[in-house]
Amino acid sequence: MKFVKVLLVAGVSAALLSGCGSNNNNEGNEAAATATTAPTSAAQTDAVSTASIVKEQDPFLKAVSAEGNWIVAILNDLTVDQDVVVAGEFHDKGVAENAIYRKLALYAQDADHKVTASYTLTAPKVTVQSENFRVQGGTIKGDVYVEANGFNLYKDATIDGNLYFANADVQASAVMEGKVTGATEVK
């Protein structure tokens, strides 16, 4: 039975990975998870970066840390009983030559990039220290504190709580297309 569960999880992961990609545009149908390979040269080795696809607190906290991945996708509603810190510098698709970019995917999608489920991340506080961090799909339930430039709340995402920016410059660099149920201010 355990083997069947492993196969089922592998199948779901493969389905997520097969239809995923990111070009860091505002199309919105980007990856909930992806795997890419950087171009190689004689002096450069292959670099492979996969998404962190998580469904439990500890793997999630590690995935959003500075030791995590450029994209983190959750597979279900997730409640974290401690503050979340999104830290580190990451690049689109995990390739160093690409733009600085990081993403939290709170949704699942099919091979045609159609969102099939949205999820809620519940945490006492989420602090964003990664530049160009996008929250896409689903809901963050709790207050979000943004300390880095380029925060993006995509149009299909919600913050069910307050959104605070470290200063006016950080707030001015944000792209706010989604919904915030509480206050949005510099604090």
d(CA 99, CA 179): 26
Contact 147, 133 (CB under 8 A): no
On the question of pLDDT at 89 being above 50, the answer is yes
Q: What is the largest CA-CA distance in the chain?
A: 54
* Token representation of residue 14: 């493969």
Mark out the alpha helices in the chain (DSSP H runs). Answer: 2-18, 57-64, 168-172
Residues 6+ apart with CB under 8 A from 43: none
Residue 107 pLDDT greater than 80, yes or no = yes
Question: Looking at residues 25-36, what average pLDDT do you find?
Answer: 40
Tens digits of residue pLDDT in 114-123: 999 999 999 9
pLDDT tens-digit readout, 120-172 = 999 999 999 999 999 999 999 999 999 999 999 999 999 999 999 999 999 99
Residue 50 banded pLDDT, cuts 50, 70, 90: low
Confidence of residue 22 (pLDDT cuts 50, 70, 90): very low
